[in-house]
Structure 1
């Protein structure tokens, strides 16, 4: 049962929590652990409840009196309280999880060692300890942990070794400053540890032992980023980091990029880059490091009262993280890489029927709030805050933030509290800005009407707004591209472009859809190869991506541009970057021969790139993933016949195997043998995707068993199998599974929970079946009573299906 806002408001009105004392024993068994929680609190005379989600509940003591454990229902224990001080003790056996939430227990395929970490975000905390699980009932935490004697334990406060007994060791942590329940974590296992210090703050890094050499190699850069970010955040905020140690734990099978737990940030361990990495990869990681550090102030010192202000956490950390790495670290080009990785993620979300305001979503319950944890909260919110900082000026912007931290230190606040501080600092009302940019969803469309000599601004009919756009316009003439400032402050703004190509919002300062007009689009295949401004190239590609998304550009037109100017300058291959978009969206929709043209273009780009450069690596990755030559792919999969400057690391070899699987030029036995020869956390995930990509019924059944829970594997493998299931050109093999997705949707939902449930709904949706039957089945499924996060993911897939059909 998801906590409703009304329930949370009532509980906060009658309770004041003094402290939590949590005792965890992680040595019981491989699947369960013991949890004993003591909560001290004051209450009014009232009836309320405590949240706990155990495997089995053993004891409930309220003020020393035993309560019947059978009162537990749907994760809640009813409490009938008199006015005054109380002590509640809850003893339970809890279950370890492998979906990235609660207390996640992972077995490293490389060496069989077990690792544990806590992810309490949203509603997962009660599966670790009993609590009043809502963001505005903050309290100090003390924790005692019993673990195997050779394990390391870290958490929200420095862990003290309390002594060993036989094969176990006790650790004590805290008390902490007041924390929200969703920040509480413990990281335990035979982790490899690196310690350092900066400006009086103890620093730590940890990883699985199988990644120890990688962490050792990466530690200097990570610690340098941490030091630089601390210095800049202290300078900007004027308030020192208040949570003691600052530990960054790189943990396995983590759902998000990272989680800002005070004192102990958890990050997904693929960010340690076992193989080749590019500056774009490292810029993305630097942004995450600084983003989580910014959260220590915005989110951790001051926490939203309710989940509909979660955007404040993420938008602010997104804005500050990018600002910090740009101004205070070597990643001065962070905004460029951010353009490729984040902008279209946010704008496409803002254009779908499921769009929502950045702020003021009035989420009725905790789980429905999770569905708004998306590109709008991150990318659009960050863009809006950047605009606000320009509008107010840095002194007023940062002055308002500092006041906000001081007024609500270790407490809770709302958006209105923050904007009141900004209005006091800036001396002017922000009501209009808030209404148009934060409370009204949907992105404006800014388009050039060349014949009329104007730029037209329109907002979605369902969400009218009157937004001013301060942007830069780039035009191409005899001397190349030139840029100038331009203001769009009405439905029509004069701009006489003549017959020159134009890119609107050339530096992506505002938030709008600005696809290239027909003349510009026709010229881009000739102009783009000579476009030397990196940001202008990013803007061009983002405008083209959004043009295809809006069906004002055809796949054939994109394919023409790919053939002359393949986007290898985006050197990251994350899910939101250009290469996956080209391979997964554009080429399957483009005319016959487009993949071959793209392959020839990226091969040529790799050949002319500087040996050992990031451009060479990026272009060669694209070469591998678009090849149809089995013999060549086999050599690359073996690490042989690679161009000079290219390292045949594990990631590249598995890219070749994945492509071999897609084109049906390998088999399950060969993929299994490759995994056996190099078993690790990352290769296990690669293997799941490659096997699922084979064009055979058996391979698709392999994936389907993971969707329905028939085979239980960790979250990364579940998603990877879903990604491999739907391959272009395999519709004849996947047709039964496209039908089964809707027929067995209940089984799919029942097999997963929380974050992963939504991921599975998205990953296993039959997106390659662009037909009436899939559209009708999706529409029918959306008529059902579905969990909020599931409905959101399914509705977004429905929108994507219809958009792809529109440009098919």
Structure 2
């Protein structure tokens, strides 16, 4: 029963949908009896045409299965599937099983908070995880209402998709929670959030609102509750105005849960978020915008995704692209974060563009047609950032009246059902959009971005479509032009391969306001002049556009690492230095500096110190500059000094203390004992993750062995610590220590499928890739293994993408040697 399960094939889903109509699920979960497993009794009532089909189930063990009163042999269960013989008409299936609590962020995840030893549970059913919680027909187009009954420890609170309450407490150390029958849901939307969570309640426009977080973070949630509730209310008002359809799922609870893999999950009535979005330390405005847009993104899903759900995973992009577009738009329009689109330019643009230029690129639409596992691989920057950009373009061309009339028609026709992209585009055409077939073909069904550059010698702007994916795309965008009086904008439409554009020696930035989707690179002349111009640019969107032009040019070997460093020194990019892997700071530290001329790290550190000294005390840019200074410090004495005294306007909170300790560890200026003492002094979940990253960053054989034990599964840790171990292991300057692990990575990676699955299997492939081994031999090994069709599909995809990153770094180093 514990062997790897099968991924649902599209043809199987079609056949099962034609056979079955699910009437409802009744779930009884016992979360109180064991810390490793839980009881799960599922009753499914469904109609059938009769004949053979199968149930999805991934238990620890089965107590009993009955179909229409007759016992079904549990030994028939193989690789997560139970064959059943249905009768024509109504059927009832009852499965009594014991299920596993998990620590990988999927299924029913159980976590113990190191701050107080209390345990928390939440459900994440996305993509093949639901059968590890309850027996089901696990595909998005077999929707049904759910009724939940949850037995939990008496001191726990339980929240689910529908309103509920504790109905019985006289059960010893347990209590029984009963929930109302939900609206029809796909299996991947079902959730339960249970534990001694700290809850805050409010209401708006007839909708009960709730927030929750683990008890040790109660003070932080209390501090943020007013902002979170205010944004929630503002977004509800705007979505009701735009859609004309009221939120239909009863309560709206937002649960911030530990060790969550994604940013959030849009479960109707009970949205789950990663709890680092409740801020226990000071953060920049960028992180607050990220939280705001995430909140609005999940609210958009309540309509697009939850009221109407994709029929199959090949339209998953539409869920995410729509929510990405609406989340940013609504945040910018109605909350205090009017600069949401600027932050999106820093945080998301290059994520999508880089994904779109890889060998693994794919069309925005129509992916995952074969099976669910294939669809999961395309859950990436193309589905989010590119799809959102294209919907934004479509809205601009249609206008709001037609755009939202079509969306409302779509919601109305398919309410609480399933639909396809074709259905949505038919609704837009009915609303007056005209024939969208050409748009669909060129923008949504053809992979890869066009490359648009300035050719100064020829006096043209030139478009080059991707060689393997030619498309007939028209681009309309603005160009920012430097003048003696500042910056002005000019509009350009590029219908063919090129259009005349005389620069007359001017400095330009192509499409700084993201009017189109393309790779737009800073030309060498403009890039050289930006060093003098960038510090004076006050328009935040234009600054973001400059950095995206620069990043694209660097990515495509059209700009040297030294040129990038010169720009950083001229105007340290403190607008976007959060730790997210798509941000400027992470790109600078991980991609640019390892290839930059000797002394570049010290130059960037000096620039950060300069920004720190000249920025207003207490400002977010001061905090960003301080973070950059920590990350680039090479003198342990400076770091030790900051542990004692921080610059005025900055308090040494938990986040900053661990940043300093991680940097000290990477420099070999601390030891395991000091790091352990820091963890023991404040043993929070945040500390535990940071401690892992610091511990494996030490330049010792023991530190690297610790990290490797996490990779191989010898040391079982939760998902956030898995990520920290991978990110801390490969440190520049420690190549002698890590060299033996380069070959071991490729030798042992295939067997990691035995110790993890799903989301974290792919993540571990990426986190532990030997990023500091910049050699053709490493690239050859990566490409060879990624070509092995016997390798797990998600591992192959992440490995292939990592190989592409490495190939680009090697190309940059070859083009711009530093010695």
Q: TM-score, normalised by structure 2?
A: 0.98
1:504: which partner in 2?
510
1:78: which partner in 2?
83
Structure 2: how far apart are the matches of 1:515 and 1:107?
47
2:680: which partner in 1?
676
User: Stretches of 4+ moved more than 4 A in 1?
Assistant: none
Secondary structure of the corresponding residue to residue 102 of structure 2: coil
> Which range moves more in the overlay, 740-749 or 443-452?
740-749
1:162 to 163, 167, 177: 167
Matches of residues 92-491 of structure 1 in structure 2 within 5 Å? 92-164=97-169, 165-491=171-497
In the TM superposition, residue 363 of structure 1 has moved relative to its aligned partner by 2.6
Q: 1:142-201: per-residue Cα shift (whole Å, max 9, x none)?
A: 010000001000000112212011110000112101000000000000000001100000
8 Å Cα contact 2:342/2:540 also seen in 1: yes
Q: Does 1:764 align with 2:768?
A: yes
In the TM superposition, residue 427 of structure 1 has moved relative to its aligned partner by 4.5
2:816: which partner in 1?
none
Structure 1: how far apart are the matches of 2:137 and 2:688?
38
Q: 1:439-478: per-residue Cα shift (whole Å, max 9, x none)?
A: 0110110100001110000110100011111111011122
In the TM superposition, residue 82 of structure 1 has moved relative to its aligned partner by 2.0
Structure 2: how far apart are the matches of 1:13 and 1:181?
17
2:786: which partner in 1?
782
CA RMSD across the alignment: 0.9
Structure 2: how far apart are the matches of 1:644 and 1:363?
56
1:568 to 559, 570, 574: 574
Structure 1: how far apart are the matches of 2:756 and 2:54?
26
Secondary structure of the corresponding residue to residue 744 of structure 1: helix
Q: Does 1:729 align with 2:749?
A: no
8 Å Cα contact 1:303/1:413 also seen in 2: yes
Q: 1:484-528: per-residue Cα shift (whole Å, max 9, x none)?
A: 221111101110001111111121111111111111111111111
Structure 2: how far apart are the matches of 1:174 and 1:134?
23
Secondary structure of the corresponding residue to residue 639 of structure 2: helix
8 Å Cα contact 1:634/1:657 also seen in 2: no
Aligned length: 806
Structure 1: how far apart are the matches of 2:183 and 2:649?
51
In the TM superposition, residue 479 of structure 1 has moved relative to its aligned partner by 1.7
8 Å Cα contact 2:232/2:295 also seen in 1: yes
In the TM superposition, residue 45 of structure 1 has moved relative to its aligned partner by 1.9
Structure 1: how far apart are the matches of 2:61 and 2:338?
52
8 Å Cα contact 1:555/1:589 also seen in 2: yes
Q: 1:9-50: per-residue Cα shift (whole Å, max 9, x none)?
A: 000000000000000001121100000000000001221100
8 Å Cα contact 2:60/2:99 also seen in 1: yes
Secondary structure of the corresponding residue to residue 606 of structure 2: helix
Structure 1: how far apart are the matches of 2:363 and 2:451?
17
8 Å Cα contact 1:473/1:505 also seen in 2: yes
2:93: which partner in 1?
88
1:554: which partner in 2?
560
Q: Does 1:712 align with 2:732?
A: no
8 Å Cα contact 2:672/2:695 also seen in 1: yes
Q: 1:76-110: per-residue Cα shift (whole Å, max 9, x none)?
A: 11011221100000010001000000000000010
Distance 1:60 1:661, change over 3 A: same
In the TM superposition, residue 571 of structure 1 has moved relative to its aligned partner by 5.1
Secondary structure of the corresponding residue to residue 668 of structure 2: coil
2:594 to 568, 588, 595: 588
8 Å Cα contact 1:571/1:615 also seen in 2: no
Secondary structure of the corresponding residue to residue 277 of structure 1: coil
Structure 2: how far apart are the matches of 1:688 and 1:749?
23
2:28 to 11, 20, 23: 23
Structure 1: how far apart are the matches of 2:575 and 2:119?
39
2:609: which partner in 1?
603
In the TM superposition, residue 573 of structure 1 has moved relative to its aligned partner by 3.4
Structure 1: how far apart are the matches of 2:321 and 2:650?
38
Structure 2: how far apart are the matches of 1:421 and 1:182?
26
Could you list the runs of 5+ residues in structure 1 that have no partner in the other structure?
A: none
Structure 1: how far apart are the matches of 2:676 and 2:372?
41
2:695: which partner in 1?
691
